[in-house]
Copies of this chain bind each other. A is one copy, B any other.
Amino acid sequence: MSSSKKQSGSLQEKPGISQPEITNVAAINQIKKNRRQQPSSAELITGILAGNRTALSRAITLAESTNPEHAEKANEVITGCLPHANKSIRIGITGVPGVGKSTFIEAFGTFLTQLGKKVAVLAVDPSSSLSHGSILGDKTRMEELVKDENAFIRPSASGDTLGGVARKTREAIILCEAAGFDTIIIETVGVGQSETAVHSMVDFFLLLKISGAGDELQGIKRGIMEMADAIVINKADGDNIKKANQAKLEFNRALHLFPQKKSNWQPKVTTCSAITGEGISAIWETISSYVDTMTASGYFQEKRKEQNHFWMMETINEQLKLNFFTQPEIISQLEQNKKAVQNDEISPFAAAQLLLNIYAKIQK
Point out residues on A near B: beta carbons under 8 Å: 75, 78-79, 82-83, 85-86, 167, 170-171, 174, 215, 217-223, 226, 254, 256-260, 305, 308-317, 319-321, 324, 337-338, 341-353, 355-356, 363-364
| Contact status A341-B308, CB under 8 Å | yes
Residue in B170, B320, B342 whose CB lies within 8 Å of A308: B342
Residue in B309, B338, B344 whose CB lies within 8 Å of A82: B344
A79 surroundings in chain B (CB, below 8 A): 346-347, 350
Query: What is the interface of chain A mostly: helix, strand, loop, or mixed?
Result: helix
How close is A130's CB to chain B, nearest CB, in angstroms?
24
| Contact status B167-A344, CB under 8 Å | no
Complex CA gap A257/B25 in Å reads: 68
Number of copies: 2
Complex CA gap A240/B257 in Å reads: 23
| Contact status B316-A352, CB under 8 Å | yes
Complex CA gap A324/B312 in Å reads: 14
| Contact status A82-B345, CB under 8 Å | yes
How close is A136's CB to chain B, nearest CB, in angstroms?
23
Complex CA gap A356/B79 in Å reads: 18
Complex CA gap A85/B346 in Å reads: 11
A78 surroundings in chain B (CB, below 8 A): 347, 350
Complex CA gap A243/B122 in Å reads: 50
Complex CA gap A341/B254 in Å reads: 37
Residue in B215, B345, B352 whose CB lies within 8 Å of A312: B352
Complex CA gap A337/B349 in Å reads: 33
Excluding A75-B347, A308-B341, A316-B355, 16 further A-B contacts by CB distance (< 8 Å) are A75-B350, A78-B347, A78-B350, A79-B347, A82-B346, A170-B348, A215-B257, A219-B260, A305-B343, A309-B342, A311-B348, A311-B349, A314-B348, A317-B317, A319-B356, A320-B320
| Contact status A344-B85, CB under 8 Å | yes
Complex CA gap A204/B211 in Å reads: 35
Residue in B223, B312, B317 whose CB lies within 8 Å of A351: B312
How close is A353's CB to chain B, nearest CB, in angstroms?
8
Complex CA gap A331/B47 in Å reads: 38
How close is A127's CB to chain B, nearest CB, in angstroms?
20
Complex CA gap A312/B350 in Å reads: 8
- Which 9 A-B pairs have CB atoms at the shortest separation, nearest pair first? A315-B352, A311-B348, A312-B348, A305-B342, A320-B320, A222-B222, A363-B363, A217-B257, A308-B341
A/B interface sample: 10 pairs, CB < 8 A: A75-B349, A78-B347, A218-B256, A222-B222, A254-B257, A305-B342, A308-B348, A310-B348, A312-B349, A320-B320
